[in-house]
Amino acid sequence: MNVISNKSLLIIDDHPVYRDALSEKLAHEFADDGIEVAVASSANEGLELVQNTDKHWVVLLDILMPGLSGLAGIKVFKELENVQQVVAISGLDEHAWEPKTASAGASMFLSKNSTAEFIIRKLKPLVTLQTDYVAKTESTDPKEFRLTQRQLEVLDLISQGHPNKLIADYLDISEQTVKIHINQIFKELRVFNRTQAVLKAQKNQLLS
């Protein structure tokens, strides 16, 4: 039985064969979740689509395209209120680019050399679960904590007392990327260490 969802997945890639093949696989996988899969051949086309709908988007962005792409493209999409997650996709070296894309705000980096099954497994938590958590600060001016699904996963593992190396192994990312996510968590929560981050997350019900 299909369910109705207000969340959609957008694949932005200028290679039609890869884009259409991945779109077909993802549309089939997420059909029962009621999640629409859309495609765009450029970042500008994707921006127009996102800005003209009231859906909540998870955006897969090829970081090597003509025009707006790369780290700048990630930052542009992250600024949009109805974009919940940005996932970087590329055939570029994963170890070199994963930390850079994480620093720009991407939830994860997916290599184009990965199988469709691997990509689906990685995307499923982002696409099928509520991934933007909103909490109020103690200030009189309410402010949202906008943490990505990956940052919440890192924060949860921090709360369990795991060091960076174990977090990296568990999430299958580099230690450098873990450090980038932790720095972003500290910045978003406006704290200076792991203990403060966990206490603030618990107070604002950010941990599962």
Q: How confident is the model at residue 5 (pLDDT cuts 50, 70, 90)?
A: low
Residue for token digits 């603030």? 200
Interval 7-24: pLDDT, tens: 899 999 999 999 999 999
Measured at the CA of 10, the angle between CA 7 and CA 16, to 5 degrees, comes to 155
Residue for token digits 């970042």? 43
Identify the structural domains of the chain with CATH numbers, from first to last.
7-128 (3.40.50.2300), 149-203 (1.10.10.10)
pTM for the predicted model, two decimal places: 0.75
Closest by alpha carbon to 150, among 112, 98, 193? Answer: 98
Q: What integer pLDDT is reported at residue 142 of this predicted model?
A: 32
Please name the amino acid found at residue 79: E
